[in-house]
């Protein structure tokens, strides 16, 4: 099990803790705060922790809104000490000596700063930025933001940072990289990641809006073309109930095979009551086993195979069997065929009532067209 480092960062004591607000910006740079366990070998007057950061900002007459931590470790202090006080905390692991070649870190830094400023445009909240000493990585990224996003020159950005922090950027390669960044910005050679994200996000938003409009238009068109009005519904109900009355008043319907009482249906004063009555009578006439099967079918039936409901080529209205037909039905083959046809007709009527019960107007309209031709 590895030992926890309790060593103070090299040269940390040589730099003053915090400068002043960088002129023309909302940035304030400082060296990393250290928790108490890392300050055991430091003079008490040189201690600098999260509480000291907040006190220094208050001394400047400002408030701290966000802290961007550029150190490549989590051992220096507990970020909860900031967040519990309402200060936003952003961690960007930034290895030393290589930030000038890490455009991904630059883009993440710019993105987080832009995000904070967009959420707090009119508030006087400061953005604290620190690395180990609060000079090289901190100075480079703050200067890059001023060059890339605020169109400052490299000299102006580095000069403002030096005046605010009290120290100049020490690494020559960082200074050269900042001058290159200014040249690339002027020539437009660098396509910045946050701009690419913004463009792709805007394009995706436009495409999504187009799809929503197209779906809404299609839905509206289907609704106006498939929903029947009240007169059509009433007319269809009358035709359906009339057909059922014809079946039930005929000798075939009242036969023991069909199992239906020879009583006419009441008028369609209530579509819901009529539907339930007819459905109950049809289920009751199928016998114990068969009725149970059909009841389960009605309860769990989906929308499949609805296109094949009326494709058997038979006459749509129920066939009334006369005495001759009844005599012919005495033979087993004829009786079996008549029974099959009756079951098929009963199944179609059950499907009709099932659709009416569901209230799906487009299905009702299609059934109306197929059955009655209007």
- Is the Cβ–Cβ distance between 135 and 99 less than 8 Å? no
| Burial label, 152 (beta-carbon count in 10 A; 0-12, 13-18, 19+) | buried
Q: Return the higher-pLDDT residue of 52 and 264.
A: 52
What domains appear along the chain, each with residue ranges and CATH number?
A: 12-190 (3.90.190.10), 228-372 (no CATH)
Mean pLDDT for the stretch of residues 70-76 = 94
Q: Return the higher-pLDDT residue of 314 and 188.
A: 188
Total-model pTM: 0.52
- Is the Cβ–Cβ distance between 351 and 316 less than 8 Å? no
Q: Is the pLDDT of residue 326 over 90?
A: no
* Torsional class of 87: left (φ above 0), alpha (ψ -120 to 50), beta (otherwise): beta
The tens digit of pLDDT for each residue in 200-239 reads 556 666 677 777 777 777 766 655 544 555 666 666 666 7
CA neighbor of 357 nearest in space, from 287, 272, 290: 272
The tens digit of pLDDT for each residue in 335-344 reads 777 888 888 8
Q: Return the higher-pLDDT residue of 124 and 48.
A: 48
Q: In a 3-state reduction of DSSP, which class is residue 207?
A: helix
- Is the Cβ–Cβ distance between 353 and 237 less than 8 Å? no
Q: Using alpha carbons, list the distances in angstroms from residue 200 to 46, 55, 195.
A: 49, 42, 9
Catalytic residue among 39, 94, 131, 150: 131
Token match 């040269």: residue?
11
Give residue 202's pLDDT. 61
Spatial distance between the Cα atoms of 367 and 373, rounded to a whole number of angstroms: 9
DSSP H or E segment with residue 327? helix 323-328
Which pair of structure tokens corresponds to residue 150? 């605020």
Give residue 300's pLDDT. 41
Q: Residue 259 — pLDDT band, cuts 50, 70, 90?
A: very low
Give residue 211's pLDDT. 72
Q: Is 94 a catalytic residue?
A: no
Mean pLDDT for the stretch of residues 254-275 = 45
| Burial label, 114 (beta-carbon count in 10 A; 0-12, 13-18, 19+) | middle
């Amino acid at each position: 099990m590895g030992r926890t480092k309790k060593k103070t960062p090299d040269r940390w004591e040589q730099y003053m803790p915090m400068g002043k607000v960088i002129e023309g910006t909302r940035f304030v740079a400082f060296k990393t705060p250290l928790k108490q366990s890392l300050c055991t070998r430091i003079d008490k007057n040189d201690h600098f922790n999260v509480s000291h950061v907040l006190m220094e900002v208050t001394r400047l007459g400002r408030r701290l809104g966000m802290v961007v931590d550029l150190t490549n470790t989590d051992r220096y202090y507990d970020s909860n000490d900031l967040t519990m006080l309402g200060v936003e905390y952003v961690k960007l692991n930034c290895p030393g000596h290589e930030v000038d070649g890490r455009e991904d870190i630059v883009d993440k830094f710019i993105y987080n700063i832009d995000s904070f400023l967009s959420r707090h445009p009119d508030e006087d909240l400061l953005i604290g930025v620190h690395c180990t000493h609060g000079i090289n990585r901190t100075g480079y990224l703050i200067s890059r933001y001023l060059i890339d996003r605020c169109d400052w020159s490299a000299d102006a950005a580095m000069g403002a940072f030096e005046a605010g922090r009290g120290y100049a950027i020490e690494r020559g390669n960082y200074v050269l990289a900042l001058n290159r960044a200014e040249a690339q910005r002027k020539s437009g050679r660098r396509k910045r990641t946050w701009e690419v994200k913004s463009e792709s996000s805007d394009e995706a938003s436009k495409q999504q809006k187009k799809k929503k409009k197209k779906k809404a238009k299609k839905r509206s068109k289907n609704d106006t073309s498939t929903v029947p009005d009240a007169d059509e519904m009433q007319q269809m109900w009358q035709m359906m109930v009339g057909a059922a009355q014809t079946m039930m008043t005929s000798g075939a319907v009242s036969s023991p095979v069909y199992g239906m009482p020879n009583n006419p249906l009441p008028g369609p004063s209530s579509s819901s009551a009529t539907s339930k009555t007819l459905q109950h009578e049809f289920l009751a006439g199928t016998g114990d086993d068969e009725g149970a099967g059909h009841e389960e079918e009605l309860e769990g039936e989906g929308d499949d195979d609805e296109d094949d409901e009326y494709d058997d080529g038979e006459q749509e209205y129920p066939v009334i069997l006369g005495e001759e037909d009844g005599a012919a039905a005495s033979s087993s083959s004829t009786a079996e065929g008549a029974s099959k046809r009756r079951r098929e007709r009963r199944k179609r009527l059950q499907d009709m009532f099932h659709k009416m019960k569901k209230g799906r107007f487009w299905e009702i309209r299609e059934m109306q067209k197929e059955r009655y031709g209007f």
